[in-house]
Amino acid sequence: MYRTHSCGELRASHINTEVTLAGWVQKSRDKGFMIWVDLRDRYGITQLIFDEERTAADLMEKAKGLGREFVIQVKGTVIERQSKNPNIPTGDVEVLVSELTVLNEAKLPPFTIEDETDGGEDLRMKYRYLDIRRNPVKESLLFRHKVGMEVRKYLSDEGFAEVETPYLIKSTPEGARDFVVPSRMNEGQFYALPQSPQTFKQLLMVGGMDKYFQIVKCFRDEDLRADRQPEFTQIDCEMTFVEQEDILNTFEGLTRHLLKEIKGVEVDKFPRMQYDDAMRLYGNDKPDIRFGMEFGELNEVAQHKDFKVFNSAELVVGIAVPGAASYTRKEIDKLIDWVKRPQVGALGMVYVKCNEDGSFKSSVDKFYDQEDLAKWAEVTGAKAGDLICVLSGPTDKTRAQMSALRMEMAERLGLRKPDEFAPLWVVDFPLLEWDEETERYHAMHHPFTSPKPEQISLLETEPGKVKANAYDLVLNGNEIGGGSIRIHDKQIQAMMFDYLGFTPEEAKAQFGFLMDAFEYGAPPHGGIAFGFDRLVAILGGQETIRDFIAFPKNNSGRDVMIDAPAPVDNEQLKELSIKLDITE
Amino acid sequence: MYRTHSCGELRASHINTEVTLAGWVQKSRDKGFMIWVDLRDRYGITQLIFDEERTAADLMEKAKGLGREFVIQVKGTVIERQSKNPNIPTGDVEVLVSELTVLNEAKLPPFTIEDETDGGEDLRMKYRYLDIRRNPVKESLLFRHKVGMEVRKYLSDEGFAEVETPYLIKSTPEGARDFVVPSRMNEGQFYALPQSPQTFKQLLMVGGMDKYFQIVKCFRDEDLRADRQPEFTQIDCEMTFVEQEDILNTFEGLTRHLLKEIKGVEVDKFPRMQYDDAMRLYGNDKPDIRFGMEFGELNEVAQHKDFKVFNSAELVVGIAVPGAASYTRKEIDKLIDWVKRPQVGALGMVYVKCNEDGSFKSSVDKFYDQEDLAKWAEVTGAKAGDLICVLSGPTDKTRAQMSALRMEMAERLGLRKPDEFAPLWVVDFPLLEWDEETERYHAMHHPFTSPKPEQISLLETEPGKVKANAYDLVLNGNEIGGGSIRIHDKQIQAMMFDYLGFTPEEAKAQFGFLMDAFEYGAPPHGGIAFGFDRLVAILGGQETIRDFIAFPKNNSGRDVMIDAPAPVDNEQLKELSIKLDITE
């Protein structure tokens, strides 16, 4: 047995106990006559002490040789510390060492193993096993485990069964790009890795499993935007004999359970917002509602004067930034530069300062009088001291720009508090979205999503207006889950495939098994999937997922630690009946 | 809301309650004036009743139209059944239907959705979503969920953290064949799917995670023996600062917990057997110890006469089959034919009947007298009424043949009881095994397994004799888990790679990151992995894993339901910088 206690366990009550500890040397302080060593393991840090008076000379000598990150085992007696450290749970005691074994030496790590490290992102990724020793990463991984356990416990208690679906499935051209896997036993054929277990969970519902979930890896061969991973984890769920309301209630329950158990936060019933309202009020289908600054549409009160920029715009929209009337001219100019950055893309910004005396000062005083501006303040809900920021242009673009500005101002004002949680259901998503490039409609959620039954007839005339039984769960401005009621009727599914541009042959080749399944008694069903990586990160009060993933890949999809992907030898390719086709 | 209750929920206490149910029509009996319908969902079956006296005529008519597997919703009143059915929990009541909605019709299923189905394996696989409606498959999947939850609960309570390791990793030529995944973003390079998270879990230990587990999919591109799957699930575990004893105790605890919670079976401390003893006594490294028939080695008592077959054999070995002395000549001849089948491969079998009167009758009476045979009986532990079966030849082959015979006789005698659980640790496995084909030693477990420290010097002189700190957990004749204490010393690991025929360059290219990690303070560590599919099957009292997997593949690695793998289009291959290389 290597240890009697962990390094996080000893307290004053252990004083005079003989203990054996094992762990890593966090650091040592050598005063010559006295040496202190901080011994670290997953559970904490315990101070070891060697001193001339009580420690044998050869042991003193050995202790002097200990370097950072050496792995050691010590035996000794728990004693009271002279100067206690109230910052760590073991701070009342130290261990007077009588025996020291070096289990493994360590080279000097390429970066410091401290909460705040001097290691850059690349170095930390290459030596991820050292990065994991650091508290912030270690705690994130343990936090992830805790969230996963709570998810499973809650869903299992609610009657959901975790069913494993296959990883070696079939490639479909719809959706994102698949990773494929050549099959050796089936020459010239390929498996695909699942982008989600969507069709399998629907088949489980056809199979009568009633309530299914799975915490499962999914794969998408996409060019990686920041903070995306080619492999990611979903909490995938599906239920039978349910309407949208049942699903919202069930997963509101799950989310509330997590907030309570993990964060100790009690949240009331989650508000619900229609997709159209979210776009109108926040310019965004995943609004952060921890703070206000709702959009005020100003067309009516701003398009009656000679200001051509507004008059020619499809949308004129403003937000009232609290307390920002005090911005200097220079600060406002910088803000205007900010909205003109290519990442935001506005052509300019009109502003109105709402002075404390009730008067207004705007960048368009030439065109608008105090009465006009008072109306703008009314529409945007601006109070004395606020700054009204106004953008204009085509509706969709302008909303997106204003949404970016709103988030930026909230960030600057410290309104995005990581410890505050504001969940929100966004409902009534459009069924289809028009794709300019391919000049056809695509499924906004996926091709199995059910249109609102009462709107099916609209598909013929105004397909873009048809709403779906689709919903997203939004937390603090992040989409953490999304789902829909599925189509369970073969005819409607065939019609949807038709609208999405599949020929009947293509639909049959790719989803024939699902269409077949629908002939043998498919029940009404629906579900949801949560992005587990992001959910964990947000619950952990962070916006980036990377530290919540043990071994993440970089933006080129590489694991720089193991150096993958890598070439494989020709023999292996030959067995798989493929060869390289590299353009020089 | 589609239902107020499930189909497994209603009891006498619900009589006179108005309920809404939804489910599948299991079957209906139409007596003309009265129709009964068995309505089924995941939770059970509830009988619906329609009768002329109490049911509206149009509703009667509608009920007559219901076919098997139609999906329906009904409203009605719970009433007491005239003739109760004590075989099902809802058997006291039925529902007098007042409203019937057909949610979806169903074609006649290609096989009956009953516990005993008329569907063959192939048909059941093609329509797996219908097969899952059958109780035996549905219950197996729910059982799997339950086992998974208990595993997680136990390990989490013991301080293990579930950490997800990556699926897109790096191919290594050691071990079984990898599935590979071409990387689009890294031209000419490939990921590999993990055969196990072995190196990652070791890196997690280097990273200080201390106690890790994961229930995780693994992949092996092997020609599929019966009851093997190209993707399979492991309970993968690793611990730091442990010796073999710690690991055995921890996972004995897990197994005991599962047997108790899942099967209600209390098991004493698991026996431990050395690998050499398992081979000597059972001819097998995963002996089924639910019954005796231990091997008796007969060389000493059978090689002193003129029977050349025995005299020239490396091993003469017998087992005493209880009560089989009554076998007729014909039955024994059939048994001899059985051992001569190519799957077993014996050249013949000598037998001795132990008569009730204490005399012996053998097939080699010409060579051996009663006194000789009495000694055989003593060595094999045969009693009056037993049949001693004797095989001879080269040690390894003969042991394997005798093991097959022993299992066959146990099967015939009904000694392999699915409700009896006899776990066993097999320990002290050899470190290396000689491979005739490549004429070199291979790691018996894997190249990271630690030799017994006191035997490291033997590696120079008698490598085949070196034992490893490796162990298997055996349950009812199946290996359900295996693991080892790992090497954590860079020098010893380098030496092992050398013994296994890796050049230093190859070792560096493939495992460089692990060797590097060992330089930065690698702690002593070890672990184990359980075959989850098999564990679940055995706990479920079955020997085949297929019904415990929702969507299994066939022996050619095909999913016949979704028809995967499948060709992908050339555009997709081009993006991946590969092309087909098919030999016509």
Which residues in chain A are contacts of B70 at CB distance < 8 A?
A: 521
In this structure, the answer to whether residues A314 and A438 fall within a common structural domain is: no
Residue range of the domain that includes B41 = 12-104
d(CA B390, CA B316): 7
In this structure, the answer to whether residues B380 and B458 fall within a common structural domain is: no
The full length of chain B comes to 584
Residue B172 has pLDDT above 80, yes or no: no
d(CA A189, CA B573): 11
Tokens of B314: 């490396």
| Alpha helix (H) residue ranges in A4-90 | 57-64
In this structure, the answer to whether residues B65 and B91 fall within a common structural domain is: yes
Closest residue by Cα to residue A558 from B170, B317, B563: B170
Which CATH number does the domain housing residue A295 bear?
A: 3.30.1360.30
Residue A289 has pLDDT above 90, yes or no: yes
Q: Is A183 helix (H, G, I), strand (E, B) or coil?
A: coil
Provide the CB-side half-sphere exposure for B539 (13 A, CA): 32
Per-residue CA distances from B497 to B453, B528, B530 (Å): 17, 21, 25
The answer to whether residue A283 is domain-embedded is no
Residue A186 has pLDDT above 70, yes or no: yes
The answer to whether residue B566 is domain-embedded is no
d(CA A303, CA B437): 86
CB–CB contact A149 B167 (8 Å): no
Closest residue by Cα to residue B463 from B429, B498, B430: B430
- The residue from B393, B412, B431 where one domain ends is B412
pLDDT at B584: 59
- The residue from B104, B129, B156 where one domain ends is B104
State mean pLDDT over A274-301. 97
Global ipTM? 0.95
Which residues in chain B are contacts of A183 at CB distance < 8 A?
A: 557, 565
Which CATH number does the domain housing residue A17 bear?
A: 2.40.50.140
In this structure, the answer to whether residues A405 and A444 fall within a common structural domain is: no
Give how many domains chain A has, as a whole number.
3
Q: Is B517 on the interface with A (CB under 8 A)?
A: yes
The answer to whether residue B573 is domain-embedded is no
d(CA A32, CA A34): 5
Tokens of A563: 């150096």
Q: In which band, very low, low, confident or very high, does the pLDDT at B311 lie, cut at 50, 70 and 90?
A: very high
pLDDT at A459: 85
Closest residue by Cα to residue A540 from A447, A368, A421, A433: A421
The answer to whether residue A574 is domain-embedded is no
**Shortest Cα–Cα distance, A71 to chain B (Å):** 6
The answer to whether residue A523 is domain-embedded is yes
A403-432 residues touching B, CB cutoff 8 A = none
Annotated binding site of B for L-aspartate: 174, 220, 445, 486
Q: In which band, very low, low, confident or very high, does the pLDDT at B141 lie, cut at 50, 70 and 90?
A: very high
Closest residue by Cα to residue B80 from B168, B178, B159, B11: B11
Closest residue by Cα to residue A181 from B257, B181, B54, B189: B181
**Exposure letters B471-489 (e unless 16+ CB within 10 A, then b):** bbbbbbbebbbbbbbbbbb
Q: In which band, very low, low, confident or very high, does the pLDDT at B437 lie, cut at 50, 70 and 90?
A: confident
Q: In which band, very low, low, confident or very high, does the pLDDT at A348 lie, cut at 50, 70 and 90?
A: very high
In this structure, the answer to whether residues A407 and A432 fall within a common structural domain is: no
Which residues in chain B are contacts of A577 at CB distance < 8 A?
A: 580-583
Q: Is B574 on the interface with A (CB under 8 A)?
A: yes
Residue B38 contacts residue B47 (beta carbons within 8 Å): yes
Residue B484 has pLDDT above 70, yes or no: yes
d(CA B98, CA B48): 10
Tokens of B499: 């013994």
CB–CB contact B179 A179 (8 Å): no
Residue A584 has pLDDT above 70, yes or no: no
Q: Is B4 helix (H, G, I), strand (E, B) or coil?
A: coil
d(CA A79, CA B256): 39
Q: What is the pTM of this model?
A: 0.95
Q: Is B570 on the interface with A (CB under 8 A)?
A: no
Which of A26, A202, A581, A582 is best to mutate for the B interface (most B CBs within 10 A)? A581
Per-residue CA distances from A133 to A25, A127, B207, B209 (Å): 12, 10, 5, 8
In this structure, the answer to whether residues B53 and B161 fall within a common structural domain is: no
Q: Is A560 on the interface with B (CB under 8 A)?
A: no
State mean pLDDT over A482-497. 92
In this structure, the answer to whether residues A522 and A545 fall within a common structural domain is: yes
d(CA A98, CA A85): 23
Question: Which of A1, A191, A562 is nearest residue B513 as measured by Cβ atoms?
Answer: A562
> Of the ranges A43-57, B49-63, B368-382, B566-580, which one carries the lowest mean pLDDT score?
B566-580
Return the sign of the alpha-carbon dihedral for residues B341, B344, B346, B352.
negative
In this structure, the answer to whether residues B295 and B397 fall within a common structural domain is: yes
Task: Determine whether the annotation assigns residue A542 to a binding site.
Answer: no
CB–CB contact B210 A523 (8 Å): no
Torsion of Cα atoms, B211 then B215 then B221 then B227, to 10°: 120
Q: Is B241 on the interface with A (CB under 8 A)?
A: yes
Pairing type for strands A18-30 and A34-41 reads antiparallel
B288-307 residues touching A, CB cutoff 8 A = none
Amino acid at residue number A65:
G
> pLDDT (tens digit, 9 = 90+) per residue, A510-549?
888 899 999 999 999 999 999 999 999 999 998 889 999 9
The answer to whether residue A200 is domain-embedded is yes
CB–CB contact B41 A208 (8 Å): yes
In this structure, the answer to whether residues A162 and A85 fall within a common structural domain is: no
CB–CB contact B521 A70 (8 Å): yes
Which of A112, A164, A485, A514 is best to mutate for the B interface (most B CBs within 10 A)? A164
Which residues in chain A are contacts of B207 at CB distance < 8 A?
A: 128-133, 138
The answer to whether residue A7 is domain-embedded is no
Closest residue by Cα to residue B50 from B41, B39, B37, B68: B37
User: What residue of A is the nearest CA neighbor of B113?
Assistant: A207
d(CA A523, CA A513): 16
Matching residue, tokens 């997800």: B164
pLDDT at A499: 85
CB–CB contact B167 A40 (8 Å): no
Read out DSSP for A254-287? Answer: HHHHHHHHHH-----SPPEEEHHHHHHHHSSSS-
Residue A544 contacts residue A537 (beta carbons within 8 Å): yes
Please report, rounded to a whole number, the percentage of residues in chain A having pLDDT higher than 90: 85
Residue A406 contacts residue A278 (beta carbons within 8 Å): no
Residue A125 contacts residue A552 (beta carbons within 8 Å): yes
Tokens of B63: 């009920």
pLDDT at A174: 66
In this structure, the answer to whether residues A91 and A153 fall within a common structural domain is: no
d(CA A33, CA A47): 16
d(CA A248, CA A473): 9
Which runs of E-coded beta strand occur in A501-571? 525-531
**Exposure letters A150-165 (e unless 16+ CB within 10 A, then b):** bbbbbbbeeebbbbbb
Residue A181 contacts residue B182 (beta carbons within 8 Å): no
Tokens of A257: 């359970």
Which CATH number does the domain housing residue B517 bear?
A: 3.30.930.10
d(CA A145, CA A151): 10
Q: Is B18 helix (H, G, I), strand (E, B) or coil?
A: strand
Which residues in chain A are contacts of B124 at CB distance < 8 A?
A: none
A535-554 residues touching B, CB cutoff 8 A = 549-551, 553
d(CA A128, CA B516): 12
Which residues in chain A are contacts of B152 at CB distance < 8 A?
A: 149, 152
**Shortest Cα–Cα distance, B24 to chain A (Å):** 8
Residue A168 contacts residue A191 (beta carbons within 8 Å): yes
In this structure, the answer to whether residues A342 and A384 fall within a common structural domain is: yes
pLDDT at A225: 74
The answer to whether residue B4 is domain-embedded is no
> Of the ranges B37-51, B175-189, B208-222, which one carries the lowest mean pLDDT score?
B175-189
In this structure, the answer to whether residues A427 and A402 fall within a common structural domain is: no
d(CA A239, CA A152): 16
